[in-house]
Structure 1
Amino acid sequence: MRQAGCTLVLIALVLGLTSAPGFAERNLVPTLDRSFDVCPDRPAEPVWMQQIPLRQVYHRVLVQDIYRAQNLEQVVEIGNCDCATRFPSWDAAEAVFRESYANNERWKLLQASDAYNRRANAARPEAQAICDAAGNW
């Protein structure tokens, strides 16, 4: 008898979950437009990064990692998290990439990406505290 009660509860639960109105799904319409709640006017990635061939996507990832590390470290260094500090232009990250990594082999770029991720992750807690206080996280 107890097993029958558990079965009925499971059936009710499954029916309740699968027959729930689809109102939540309507809010999950995919879009190619990027919109941000924090610093909505942040600069777009450079066009060359958006158009990079799939076989070279690790170049794009490295520039993104450099950008993230630089920005979080800058927030911590100056103790300010205005939008221009948190999301500056991509020029500095591109310059580092072009000067130090653009002609390197894939494995060197992956190593560099890992190093920049470590730097960003080290700066993140302090940067987040600064940005939380400024309302920009």
Structure 2
Amino acid sequence: MKQARCLIALIAMALSLTAAPAFAERNLVPTLEPSFNVCPDRPAEPTWMQEIPLRQAYQRVLVQDIYRAQNLERIVETGSCACEIRFPAWDEAEATFRDHHPTAERWEMLQASDVYNRRANDARLEAKAICEAAGNW
């Protein structure tokens, strides 16, 4: 009898634990709009990047890597982390992509992404210090 009560109590507890997350999930309202604590008025990615087919996503990643590297380097060069410096329009990154990588193969773009990531990482610590001082990190 005692075992049956324990088993019933365990089942009830298990059911209550699985029902709680389901209830909480119903209260979540997903949004597709990004929200940022720092520089909330960032320019959106160009439409063509958002519409790239999945099989060509490496192109979008490369432009994002170019953008990140250019922006971190610009912060270090200017010594400023104003929002328009940290998150400028995508024009320069797009131009770099179109000037240097328009017909590159997938593997070449992946290698280029690696180069831009190294450049960004080289500038990151100094840029972070500048941006933290400005309250923009």
Q: Which has the larger radius of gyration?
A: 2
Structure 2 residue 133 is the aligned partner of structure 1 residue 133: yes
SS for the counterpart of 2:85 is: helix
Structure 2 residue 78 is the aligned partner of structure 1 residue 78: yes
Alpha-carbon distance in 2 for matches of 1:29, 1:128: 32
Match runs of 1:67-106 below 5 Å: 67-106=67-106
Match of 1:116 in 2: 116
TM-score scaled by length of structure 1: 0.81
Pairwise CA distance, 1:67: 0.1
1:81–1:24 CA distance, 2 compared to 1 (3 A): farther
Match runs of 1:3-18 below 5 Å: 18=17
1:112–1:33 CA distance, 2 compared to 1 (3 A): same
Number of equivalences: 124
**How big is the alpha-carbon RMSD for the aligned residues of Structure 1 and Structure 2?**
2.3
Pairwise CA distance, 1:27: 8.2
Unpaired stretches in structure 1, ≥5 consecutive residues: 1-10
Measured against aligned partners, the alpha-carbon deviations of 1:114-137 in whole angstroms (never above 9, x if no partner) come to: 110111111111101100111111
Pairwise CA distance, 1:29: 4.0
TM-score scaled by length of structure 2: 0.81
Measured against aligned partners, the alpha-carbon deviations of 1:21-71 in whole angstroms (never above 9, x if no partner) come to: 769868864310111110011100000000011111100000000000000
Amino acid at match of 1:113: S
Kindly report structure 1 stretches of 4+ aligned residues shifted beyond 3 Å. Answer: 21-29
Unpaired stretches in structure 2, ≥5 consecutive residues: 1-9
Match of 2:45 in 1: 45
